[in-house]
Amino acid sequence: MDPELETGPEPHEADARSGGTGRKVTFGVASSLDNFIARPDHAVDWLMWSDEVSALTSAFWKTVDTVVMGRKTYEVGVKQGMTAYPGVKNYVFSRSMAEAPDARVEIVRRDAAGFIRELKAREGAGICVMGGGELARSLFEAELVDEVGLNIHPVLLGAGIPLFHGMSRQIDLELIDSKVLQTGCVYVLYRVKRRGSSTE
């Protein structure tokens, strides 16, 4: 799994916890301008790596101790030679995988939203959601995602794996930070606004 795929936010004054709702869950990913995270064959040859991205990524990893992802995202990572992220707890949601090729990865076969809700209530640092697809959608629908960090690339892929899948309702966001990178990429960080509550 190329680390640029999951470029997340820099640390802020608020620590890895979200205000009053337990551990912070961040959906962090690199995307094309037309909202794809990979080509139709899952290729990510269009991603741009730089010292700026490396610094952003390194800062983000210091705020999390848990990574969660779906089976498809994990399988792409395995093909790239990354079977587990070091220094954090790795969870993969799948009802079809018998076991992971790495003992550091725990396969979760139960409802993702319920599992993440329990993780948020436990002691610990932030939780990073990798990739997109059905997993991310289920967590957005369950109001479990606290922040969205995107590294938007100056490219139109035309087709591919979508950044977001259709959801049943509108989700409002508040811009926390933005930065234009030397590569022409744009980093943005949003806080997810909760329904029926004022802006934090």
Share of the chain above pLDDT 70, in %: 87
Task: Supply 117's token pair.
Answer: 């809700």
CB 164 within 8 A of CB 132: yes
Spatial CB neighbours of 181, under 8 Å, sequence gap ≥ 6:
50, 52, 53, 151, 187
CB 120 within 8 A of CB 129: no
Asked if residue 120 has pLDDT above 50, the reply is: yes
Please identify which residue in the block is written with the tokens 């995107």.
Answer: 150
**Domains of the chain listed by start with CATH number:** 3-7+23-164 (3.40.430.10)
pLDDT at 131: 78
What pTM value is reported for the model?
0.84
CA 18 to chain centre: 16
Residue 39: band (very low, low, confident or very high) from pLDDT cuts 50, 70, 90: very high
